[in-house]
Amino acid sequence: MSYAITPPTVPSLPIIGSDQRFPVRRIFCIGRNYAEHAREMGAVVDRDTPLFFCKPADAVVTDGADVPYPQATGDLHHEVEMVVALGGGGRDIPLSQAASLVWGYGVGLDLTRRDLQAVAKVKSHPWDVAKAFDHSAPVSALRPAGAVTLTDDTAISLTVNGQPRQQGRLGDMVHGVAEVIAILSTLFELKAGDLIFTGTPAGVAALQRGDSFHAELAGVATLDGRVA
């Protein structure tokens, strides 16, 4: 097959302990999946109607690359999140089968142009310009699921310039990983290569040019980077 233009490069993530890479198809995100974060944003968790949004696959920043400070904002915020990588998919996936589709785990930042999000909320507009911009999804290398043991007490954290910003535990999530996958599959056909950002604990705040960050999903993955 020939193309009218050169096909874009497939975004991908490194894999811990392997020379292979994980190709990224789509990025799904769930909002308000930690009650304390919802409260700090002036929102209420609606367990029966989870809030989902998407980022483009090429929003990933990886391999230690700097994160360019985005255009059109003066209020860039960090949101540290566990990232789930799928090795399979489907529609209307039963909750009992959802966890078996997880290929691996990592940690990432859901970067947000908070000022643009605030305007969108007031006007009841979509969040795309606040969430789905270039370089808005820094993600660590992935650790295969077979090498990962997660519990309710598994910690997720973020420091900026060495100072603690966010700290949480996976047991604080409103919807667990299997629930998120099962619910998403009623809205989209999930496929291998999809990433799911699973929500952020409280403590979101602004990032400035020159800031360095360290995100960690304890015992699983770390992400270090800098805002350029």
Q: Which domains does the chain have, with CATH numbers?
A: 12-226 (3.90.850.10)
Give the span between the Cα atoms of 110 and 10, in whole angstroms.
20
Residue 39: its pLDDT value, please?
A: 85
Residue 169: its pLDDT value, please?
A: 97
Regions of the chain where pLDDT drops below 50? none
For 117-150, what is each residue's pLDDT tens digit? 999 999 999 999 999 999 999 999 999 999 999 9
Output the CA–CA distances (angstroms, integers) from residue 169 to 24, 110, 173, in the order listed. Answer: 26, 17, 8
Residue 46: its pLDDT value, please?
A: 85
76: enclosing H helix or E strand: strand 76-78
Letter string b/e over residues 16-55, b meaning 16 or more CB atoms within 10 A of that residue's CB: eeeeebbebebbbbbbbbbbebbeebeeebeeeebeebbb
Task: Collect all residues with Cβ–Cβ distance below 8 Å to 129 and sequence separation of at least 6.
Answer: 72, 113, 116, 120
Give the span between the Cα atoms of 122 and 15, in whole angstroms.
41
Tokens 């609606």 belong to residue: 46
Amino acid occupying residue 24: V
